[in-house]
Amino acid sequence: MIRILLADDENLIRDAVASLLALEDDLDVVAQAASGPEAVAAALKHEPDVAVLDLQMPGLDGVEVAQRLAHDLPSCGVVIVTSHGRPGYLKRALEAGARGFLPKTVSSRVLADVVRQVRAGGRYVDPELAAEAIAAGASPLTAREADVLELAADGAPVEEIATRAHLAPGTVRNYLSSAAAKLGAANRHEAAHVARRHGWI
């Protein structure tokens, strides 16, 4: 029996997936969570074989949960499901140790097969998402540029970004200017939009 943790902040979706997986003879949903921190706690308590995580959850996103589990519970395989199949998210998920990455549009049969594959030590990346990631290429931004651009994405002023990033305002302006130039954007707001569209922030 493959023991599964399901984490999704949308209760209706989580309950539906749990019900569908319960129809499989060899799958057992042993825990559910509605946020990233809940998912980590549930995984450490129940020690599932596979964690099926929504990419975007409150507290910690699916990638951050995958990183924690890779460190604290390496025996647990991670599958990330998302309605935001952007190339940068796929790369981040794989780097964090996720062994499966697929859109929420897949059937329950495909999800069940991916869970089995990951439990057996394999990997599965949705072919369409993989093709998009290859076509988009790697992010041109440095890690620091991406961090600063992400802080700027909600319209925060330079001084606030500087405080939150522990940088001088001039350094923040330099990072934002460099990021905009690399992305061919007219300003930081457009740069943040381009980076977010590709999943680079």
- Please answer whether residues 39 and 33 qualify as being in contact, where contact means their C-beta atoms are separated by less than 8 angstroms: yes
**Nearest-angstrom CA–CA distance, 39 and 53:** 8
What is the pTM (predicted TM-score) of this model? 0.74
Give, in order, the Cα–Cα distances in Å from 23 to each of 13, 112, 118, 121, 161. 16, 10, 19, 23, 49
Q: Which of 24, 18, 22, 62 has the alpha carbon at shortest distance from 40?
A: 62
pLDDT for 85 beyond 70: no
12-16, 82-86, 101-105, 139-143: the lowest-pLDDT one: 82-86
> pLDDT higher for 90 or 170?
170
Q: Which of 109, 14, 87 has the alpha carbon at shortest distance from 101?
A: 87
- Please answer whether residues 185 and 194 qualify as being in contact, where contact means their C-beta atoms are separated by less than 8 angstroms: yes
pLDDT in tens, 114-124: 999 999 999 99
Domains of the chain: 2-134 (3.40.50.2300), 143-197 (1.10.10.10)
pLDDT in tens, 104-148: 999 999 999 999 999 999 999 999 888 877 777 678 888 889 889
CB contact set of 76 (below 8 Å; sequence gap of 6+) = 5, 43, 47, 48, 49, 50, 51, 69
User: How confident is the model at residue 52, as a pLDDT?
Assistant: 98
The percentage of residues in the chain with a pLDDT greater than 90, rounded to a whole number, is 70
Q: Which two tokens stand for residue 136?
A: 């988009």
Task: Identify the bridge partners of residue 78 per DSSP, sorted by sequence position.
Answer: 51
pLDDT in tens, 154-188: 888 999 999 988 899 999 999 999 999 999 999 99
